[in-house]
Structure 1
Amino acid sequence: MTQKKRYTINVTEDTAKKFEELVEHYAMQKSAVMTLLIREEYERKELEQKK
């Protein structure tokens, strides 16, 4: 099993609401949505660098 790290973050109410909407949209756990968003951002950056 992959070793996991725990993080605590502070966000504005607006950002929290948007994140909750994403969690509901994807029907995934919060940690899974955060992982997805981070991976997508890294993939986007890699594609930009290849241009």
Structure 2
Amino acid sequence: SLRTSLTGEVVMDNVFVPEENLLPNVSGLAGPFGCLNKARYGIAWGAMGAAEFC
């Protein structure tokens, strides 16, 4: 599983991000977490390929 325990905290208060560095059509952490969800498929297929090779 990809579950983790809370081991640290990142606080970003009053951080300026230029308009050209913002992700398009994304609000909050939906963009980064959506990318992680899609990466899980690649991880799963890679593990299955490695298991088949063994």
TM-score interval, normalised by the smaller of the two chains? 0.3 to 0.5
TM-score by structure 2 length? Answer: 0.41
Q: Which has the larger radius of gyration?
A: 2
- Whose helix fraction is larger, Structure 1's or Structure 2's? 1
TM-score by structure 1 length? Answer: 0.42
